[in-house]
Amino acid sequence: MARPRAFDPAATLRKAMMVFWERGYFNSSIDDIVAATGVSRYGLYDIHENKRGLFLAALDHYYATIFEPMLAPVTKPDAGLAEIRDYFGVLLHYARKPGGGIGCLMCNSASEVAPFDRDVAARVRNFQDNARQAFRRALVNARRKGEIGQGIDPARHADFLTGALQTVWLLARSSAGSKVIANHIAVTLATLDKQG
């Protein structure tokens, strides 16, 4: 009969996710994760096999517990311009917080790890695709309701907004400052203003 685990796997995964989020994949050692979680490497490997397996689980956890809840208002069937504006307002709020300089784990991983790991690249693509689809639906709704100009192509603008959300976190990670981030978001949202 197997012994019950002496640690909470979900809480351990959250702590490991924070290590990867703050330090990056390549700059995080198993010793760093052991120190942060209080779980031995054998305990970690019993569940996740190795550091890479733990990182993939951390990306999935980030997606489910951080990204999806933040994007949820934009994914509502009747979402429109207000939800897009609110989403970028939430990004600005988090980017301005003291811990905002760690950016977004998915965005960080897009440049750090995805070029070298197809499973990470697939998770990053899923993150981007779901953001793009949510923005596109909301833009279609906004155009139908007359909230944005008829000249805005929802598919093209959804690509733009997906890039803009990633840029917010790149700026936050680079310590660009909250004024630069606020200006970036203001100009991004101004592209949705009705002309004339």
pLDDT at 64 over 50: yes
pLDDT digits (tens, 9 = 90+) for 79-111: 999 999 999 999 999 998 888 889 999 999 999
Per-residue tokens: 49: 């096999």
Q: Domain ranges in the chain? A: 9-190
Is the pTM higher than 0.75? Answer: yes
**Of 35-49, 104-118, 151-165, which range is least confident?**
35-49
8 Å CB contact between 113 and 120: yes
Helix, strand, coil share of the chain (percent; to 5):
75, 0, 25
Give the separation between CA 55 and CA 173, rounded to whole angstroms.
Answer: 20
pLDDT at 4 over 60: no
pLDDT at 1 over 70: no
- Percent of the chain exceeding pLDDT 90 equals 80
Q: Among 1.10.1380.10, 3.40.640.10, 3.40.50.300, 1.10.357.10, what is the CATH number of 9-190?
A: 1.10.357.10
pLDDT value at position 84? 98
- Identity of the residue numbered 145: K
